[in-house]
Each structure stands twice: as structure tokens, then as C-alpha cells.
Amino acid sequence: MTPKLQVLNGEEGTHRTQTAERVPADFDLLRLRAIRRLVMWRGFPYFFQGLMLIVFVALAQIGWEHYAPTGANQKLYAKTNLATLLVWGVWWPAMIWIAVLLGRAWCMVCPLELVSNVSERFGRSQGIRQLHVRRWMISGAIIVALYALIQLLVSGAHINRVPAYTSWFLIGLLLMAVITGLAFKDRAFCRGFCPIGQLLATYGRGGMLAVRAGSGQTCGGCTGKDCLMACNRYRPDARSCPGLLNPPRVNSNRDCLVCGQCIKACQPDNMRLLLRPLFHVGDVREPLASWPTTLFVMLVSGFVTWELLTEWPKGEETFLKVPNLVSQWAGVSWSSGYLDGLWALVIVPLGFWTLMWFVVRLLGENSGLSSTWQRMALPVAVVVSAGHMAKALAKFVSWAGFLPVAMTDPVGLNTLEALRVKALAEPTRLLPPVVAAVLGIILVVGGLFFAVREARLAHPNSLSHYLYLVPKVSLTFAFLLIVFGWVLK
Ligand code: SF4
Ligand code: SF4
Ligand code: SF4
């Protein structure tokens, strides 16, 4: 591939696509015959989505109406029940890793997309007048609100520890996919309502898997434009982009679900399924994040800080001192989890991001609060995602040892009882805390490296990105301090 230059002309929000860094060679996975045949197969990705749907429904069934017995350790029961174990201890950590490393690869096999696709087709066949999703709906605002709600329910109602609540969570997602599929057109659930859509879009920006057009000349001379034609949109397979993207112009991982439809639709065979280095220099960078993305990154910066602290009890106790004092003072113990959530998701991030704005201003940057936060968001998201990977790893290694026993007793009550009477020893962690901590440190430092590079690529002509090192380095330092704490407990 010809090396290109990526330059911003100095005005925020305007790009010329040239870059000072060499564009590394990408590998087109479709050159491998097995992968090409798989992607071109009529059953792709439906077959895999169908399999995941079976797992999804089975987990909802396994968790259904199961609560920890009175007096039992709720956290331990979450590890012995297959639904909570797989959803929160395996799937969720794996998704964080997959998003950062491979972009939106999970979307390729996601059962919720299949459900919304089928209900959308069913609604159309029944003559339901389906609506277009409004611009504000696809801005990400609803998704951020839903994500915040889920995290509040995790901290307040512990839906991640109670199999029955996890079951309701899965059923709720399926119902939302059905309803939005019936009511709206064009992959509305994914574009405007999926609670993890913003996480995948933000963490997955630098992912190594990407669908991109090949030669611009071929697209320019293409008369069929099958990847775009509205008449192809509702075909069973080889559709024009169901999410209304313009495949020849896709230049970031943000919105593409790697569903492969445009690859199949393109008659001149000009779409590629690329494996590329992390944070590919050829992708477009937004100098300022949108407001929903900014709010999302603020929220997860606090959430991930708390999540990392859960591996270090003394640190967590200190972090939650203020909300605990407030809930003691108010005398409403039921609300303490929600107060903790509010503290971690809203109050701490607001304090941190405002402080960062002050510091950046003191150092000489003359931007307002809103543009400073928007400029901070995407590079800081890289550090946050690295911290999230560290936590996901720590969680996985402490939960995954329960998998063999949970496969033999999916409901987990017998296992719980066996653990209580010490007829069964608690499975050991897959990695000792010190190894998890070392890997965590490597991840966070690696995150800082890519975050600095992202900021430089988004503002190549501006020296002020040195001032913006402060938020990234501060958060990295905080994460490193916490990860050191993991071995002190
Ligand atoms: S956006 Fe959400 S619902 Fe759509 S494919 Fe991705 S994870 Fe699934
Ligand atoms: S159908 Fe293929 S060649 Fe034609 S515009 Fe789309 S991606 Fe380009
Ligand atoms: S651009 Fe292609 S791979 Fe991406 S969502 Fe659209 S059809 Fe699917």
C-alpha cells in the first residue's frame, strides 16, 4: 500500500487525510480460502448468531428464578451458577478484550442483531409502518443512558451476582431487540439502543479487524453500487449495508459491525476484511469526540477506577468512604449500592475531569470546559480501555476456575452447599495476583503509549497535545497505583 500523509489543517474538526507515519501493510483475510468461503457462505453470520442465541436463551433459563439461599455468600453463588459465571465472569471480560483488540468483532456473531433483524423483517411483512430512527437516537445518547442504568443496577441491585436478575437482564435485551426491530427500520437496535454499542464503538476504534473498500478507482467506476443500493437492503443475504453506512467510505471501526454483507454484495469483489496493526494510522481521527462519547468516557473512567479497586479491598474502602458516610448518615442501607454507583460513575469523574480542565488551562490552553473534555475523551478512552482489560483479566482468572464444576451443576446450588460444608475446595485462580498485577501494569502502560499516539495523530499540527498529556498520565498513574495495590491485599 502507498504510504500516505494524514494532516489536520489546524481547524478543529476538519481533516485532510495525509499522515506523517507510514501506513503499514494490511493483510486481507479474504485471501485465505477458508475465510473467504466462510464469509461468502449464505449462512454467514446467521448460523453463528443462531448458535449464540441458543446459548443466550439457555443462560436466561438457567438463571431463571434462582437467588442465593438465605445466609449464603451472594458473590460465591454468582461464580457457581453457570448463567452469572458465563455472562459476567467470561463473556463480559472477553468482550472488553475482543473490542480493544479486534474492534466490533463480537457484533459479527451477536444474537441480538439476529433477533432485531428477524423482528424487523416480520414487522415489515405484517405491514407495520416502521419508523426511521431519528438523528438524536443514533447520536448515542440513549445508549449511554442505558449503559449508565445497567452499571447503577450492577452496583445497587447486584444484577451481576443474582442469577434471576441476570436472567431478566438477558430477557430485557431480547425484548428490546424485538420491540425496536418491529418499530424501526434499518438495524435500529444496533444503531440507537444497544447498551453496549457505545462501549464497542469507543473501545473498538483501534481494533485490528476492519472491513474496508479496496481500490478507490474500482468503487469510482462501479456502476452497480450493490453495497449501497436501497433495493438490496432487505434481501436475505448479500445486502447493501443494513446499518446505512457507505461501505466504500468506511474509514473507522466506529459504526461498522463487520457483518460482511457488503463483502458479499460487492460484485467487483472490492471489499476487504483486513487484519491490521492496532490503532491503524490510516483511520480517521475525530479531533473532538461527540458529546455522548465524551459522557460515556467520563462515566467509564470512574467505573473502571472503581472496578480496579474491587481487587484491592483497602483501596476500595477508602474510595467509597464518602458515599458510605452519606448512606450511614441518611440511615438508608438499601440505597448504599446506588450511592456508591453514583459516586463512582458521576461524582468522581466530574471532579477528575473538571480538575484536568483547570490544570490544562493553568498550563496555557485557552479552551472552554466543553471543548477540553471533548478533546480529552478519545485518547483518555484508550487508557480507560487498557485499565478495563486489566480488570477483565483479573476477574476472568478468579472466576474461570469455577467453569468445570458449573458445567456439571449449572444451577450451582449443590456446588454452593458442597463449598459451604467443605466437601469441595474452592477452585484456585488461574493466575496468582502478582502475575495478574504485572500483566495489568503492562496493559496500562501500553494504553498510555497508544493514547499519546492517538492524541498526536488527531492533532498533528498542534503543540498543545503536550498539555493534554496531563489527563492521560494522571489516569495512568492512578490505575498503576491501584494495580500495585492488588498485591498488597
Ligand atoms: S451493536 Fe449491540 S446488538 Fe448490535 S451487533 Fe453489536 S453488540 Fe449486538
Ligand atoms: S459495490 Fe463494491 S466496487 Fe461498487 S461501490 Fe460498492 S464497494 Fe465499491
Ligand atoms: S459496512 Fe459492510 S460490514 Fe460494515 S456494517 Fe455495513 S455491510 Fe456490514
Farthest CA pair distance, the chain: 73
Residues 319 and 343 placed together within one structural domain of the fold:
yes
Q: Which of 266, 272, 274 has most ligand 2 atoms within 8 Å of its beta carbon, as the pocket-test mutant?
A: 266
Give the per-residue pLDDT at 84.
97
User: Is the C-beta atom of 259 inside 6 A of ligand 1?
Assistant: no
pLDDT score at 368: 93
Of all protein residues, the one whose alpha carbon is nearest to atom 3 of ligand 2 is 219
Q: How confident is the model at residue 7 (pLDDT cuts 50, 70, 90)?
A: very low
Contact 273, 103 (CB under 8 A): no
Q: Residues 79, 85: contact at Cβ < 8 Å?
A: yes
30, 212, 215, 219, best to mutate for ligand 2 pocket (most atoms within 8 Å of CB): 219
Q: What is the DSSP letter of 6?
A: B
- Indicate if the pLDDT at residue 77 is higher than 90: yes
DSSP class per residue in 268-331: T--EEEEE--SS-TTS---SS--HHHHHHHHHHHHHHHHHHHTTSHHHHHHHTHHHHHHHHHHT
Whether 296 and 276 map to the same domain: the answer is no
Question: Considering the domain boundaries, does residue 89 fall inside one?
Answer: yes
Same structural domain, 250 and 307: no
Q: Is 190 in the pocket of ligand 1 (CB under 6 A)?
A: yes
pLDDT at residue 2 above 50?
no
CA of 268 to the centre of ligand 2 (A): 7
- Enclosing domain of residue 211: 25-284
The pLDDT of residue 391 is above 60: yes
Residue 489 has a pLDDT of 66
247 CB less than 6 Å from ligand 3?
Answer: yes
CA of 105, nearest ligand number: 1
Residues 295 and 239 in one domain: no
Domain assignment present for residue 11? The answer is: no
Does the global pTM surpass 0.95? no
Is the domain of 107 the same as that of 156? yes
Report how far residue 274's alpha carbon sits from residue 332's, in angstroms, rounded to the nearest whole number. Answer: 54
Ligand nearest to the CA of 108: 1
Residue 433 lies in a domain: yes
CA distances from 392 to 203, 307, 440, 467 (A): 14, 9, 10, 30
Mean pLDDT estimate for the chain: 92
Residue 410: half-sphere exposure toward Cβ, Cα within 13 Å: 11
pLDDT in tens, 359-375: 999 998 888 999 999 99
Q: How sure is the predictor about 161, in pLDDT bands with cuts at 50, 70 and 90?
A: very high
Ligand nearest, relative to CA of residue 235? 3
Number of domains in the chain: 2
For residue 266, being part of any structural domain is answered with yes
196 lines ligand 1 (CB under 6 A): yes
> Alpha-carbon dihedral of residues 406, 411, 412, 414, nearest 10 degrees?
-120
Given 284, 308, 326, the domain boundary residue is 284
Domain shared by 160 and 298, yes or no: no
Q: Ligand 1 centre and the CA of 198: distance in Å?
A: 10
CB-based burial of residue 37 (10 Å sphere; 0-12 exposed, 13-18 middle, 19+ buried)? exposed
Residue 381, pLDDT above cutoff 90: yes
Cell numbers at residue 452, please? 499519546
Look at residue 255 and tell me if it is in a domain: yes
Nearest CA to ligand 3 atom 2: 262
| Averaged pLDDT, 62-72 | 94
248 vs 232: CA distance, rounded Å: 16
- Inside any domain, residue 15: no
Q: Is 52 in the pocket of ligand 1 (CB under 6 A)?
A: no
**Which residues form ligand 2's pocket by a CB distance below 6 Å?**
213, 218-219, 222, 224-227, 247-248, 266, 268, 270-271
Distance 19 CA to ligand 3 centre (A): 25
Same domain? 95 vs 235: yes
Question: What atom of ligand 3 comes closest to residue 263's alpha carbon?
Answer: 2
Rounded Cα distance, 179 and 166, in Å: 20
Q: Are residues 112 and 247 in the same domain?
A: yes
| Cα 195 to middle of ligand 1, angstroms | 8
Same domain, 411 and 461: yes
Q: Considering every ligand atom shown, identify the ligand nearest to the alpha carbon of residue 138 and give its number.
A: 1
Which pLDDT value is given to residue 331? 78
Claim to verify: residue 119 and residue 48 sit in the same structural domain: yes
Check pLDDT > 50 for residue 168: yes
pLDDT above 50 (res 19): no
- The total number of residues written for the chain in this structure: 489
Q: Is the CB of 393 under 6 A from ligand 1?
A: no
Nearest ligand, CA of residue 261? 3
The residue among 284, 299, 324 that closes a domain is 284
| 234 CA to centre of ligand 3 in angstroms | 14
From 257, 258, 272, 274, the mutation candidate for ligand 3 (largest count of ligand atoms within 8 A of CB) is 257
Is residue 19 in some structural domain? no
Ligand nearest to the Cα of 240, by number:
3
Same domain, 335 and 391: yes
What's residue 124's pLDDT? 96
User: How much is the pLDDT for 329?
Assistant: 86
Mean pLDDT of 272-281: 96
- Residue 266: CB within 6 Å of ligand 3? no
The model's pLDDT over 29-47, given as tens digits with 9 standing for 90+, comes to 999 999 999 999 999 999 9
**What are 209's three cell numbers?**
479487524
Mean pLDDT, residues 289-313: 97
CA 246 to centroid of ligand 1, rounded, Å = 19
Residue 113 Cβ inside 6 Å of ligand 1? The answer reads yes
Cα(368) to centroid(ligand 1), Å: 34
Domain check: are 272 and 295 in the same one?
no
Q: Which residues contact 297 (CB under 8 A, 6 or more apart)?
A: 202, 289, 376, 377, 378, 380, 381, 384
Contacts of 181 by beta carbon, 8 Å cutoff, 6+ apart = 115, 116, 117, 118, 119, 120, 122, 123, 188, 189
Residue 106 lies in a domain: yes
Residue tagged 461498522 (cell numbers): 256
Determine if ligand 3 sits within 6 Å of the CB of residue 237: no
Alpha-carbon 21 to chain mean position: 28
